[in-house]
A and B are shown apart, each in its own frame.
Chain A
């Protein structure tokens, strides 16, 4: 049961795509140089790129490069579609356990990828912008990054609650259901609540 599309008719579609990168630790001098060379931006721990209109986007390859150059979290929003990418050290065992929760529904869901020595986890969700404000305050990008900083800690500690929350919302229908996680961590419960009440 869902809304398939939402269009504002009288008003022009004043859309934009925003990409925010968060580094939890200071960038090394090498990383700073590489980031500056890639983006032309001053390499701060928080980088923000906004592309107005439907016709432009983050240059191809920047996401993965920045997520291997010291940035731990990327939060993006476009057309009410929110994507969070987490960059963690590549851990084949963890990656294998996470694979059971991979799911996709209209680009929402959870997936993982290996990029160099990192593994990049994707959490995609559809949230009305005002709902994101309600849930995460004046700066939903920062709010989501804070939430996923906790998720990262939990994953590194072996708690897969957030991946289960994604599967619970966007997965299902497979022959073998993944292993449920109970009880859910606080951050995963928050994530679940937000997604269920978008």
Chain B
């Protein structure tokens, strides 16, 4: 089950991250997970929000360069070795991870991680086969 991530291009300018966050805040959009990929001269903000279609429209309307990407939110045991056991499944099945980051809050007693896979469909099949729980878009909206 894919969920939607919003990527926002951030040029290296003071207050640009604040601009994104305050715009979302003013419109009552809640950020559930976020990470920033930074390079020498710019960054790409990746966020999972509760109302992604509305958020991406809002960002574009306000002049931000934003785009939707499919990612998968995976439940991982919140205990030592929890992440490792999931990663082992990926490694054993040749599932390539491009990047990953954590959710701000928990959905259950488990930790929730966002994965961007090179091949999302294949990753989903492997996850299903190994009975690893993924979180749906609907569940994210209800968080």
Q: Do A and B bind each other?
A: no
